[in-house]
Structure 1
Amino acid sequence: MEYRKFDNIIIARIDKGEEILEQLKAIAITENIKLASINALGAINDFTVGVYKTDEKKYYSNSFKGYYEITSLTGTINTMDGEYYAHLHLSAGNEKGEVFGGHLNRAVVSATCELVITVIDGKVDRVYDEETGLNVFNF
């Protein structure tokens, strides 16, 4: 992985075999990012995404292997109890044009991933919400 910073924008290249969430966390910690917006595209061959069932307050995961193009990867970096926290969603399409997605748990790059981090001057922490069972923004 390599990246370059331009004012409040970080442009990163995540390389073949690297896991996207691990590399994002490394950048965020190195650059001391407390709040940011994430967008990316690229190619992956091993990923896991989840769907949250609100009535059960539980995530269900689906894993995929093969040739996939990231059609959308978006989310946020912020903090929970003052520590790094990321929340990302991913959609990826296969050679048939079928798209699968959800809450990103893991994604391994098969060729490259072009990541754009827009750092926001501020801080938003998260707090556990009893009603939904989720970690939500706490303003």
Structure 2
Amino acid sequence: MTNPAAREASKQIVLNAWQTFRTRDAKLIAALFAPDAEWIAPAGNATAVALDHADHMIGADAIARFISTEMHRLFSEIDIAFRAVHADGDSVIVEERMRATVPGGRRYENDYCFVFVVEAGRIKQVREYMDTRKGWQMVFGETSH
């Protein structure tokens, strides 16, 4: 069992990050991440394919650029609703539902699970999980790829 104060500190770092993501300020977002941070999403996911973007980003600046600018080329009217946030030591799990609009006016709605690893007060790693088939259908309007 981990120290309750450490658990709460990690949880607050991640919750504050989500608030900062909304600013779309790349410098503020980059400051949340360790310089060599990683964001790992499922290979070949619809967002990465639609944006011709890596599904494994490395570096605070690359992650910040994606969050502040690049993802908004695909998603507009983004609404994120948290279902739960769980913390244990330096790991924080966020369950959420994202709703948005994609090009062509189609609605996007998918559930996500993010596992954040916090180290020395900054986000060191994010592992992202979602229903990739559902995401593909909503982004491309197709049933398979």
The answer to whether TM tops 0.5 is no
Greater share of helix: 2
Q: Which has the higher contact order (CA 8 A, sep 6+)?
A: 1
Using structure 2 for the length normalisation, give the TM-score.
Answer: 0.28
With structure 1 as the length reference, what TM-score do the two structures score?
0.29
Structure holding more strand per residue:
1
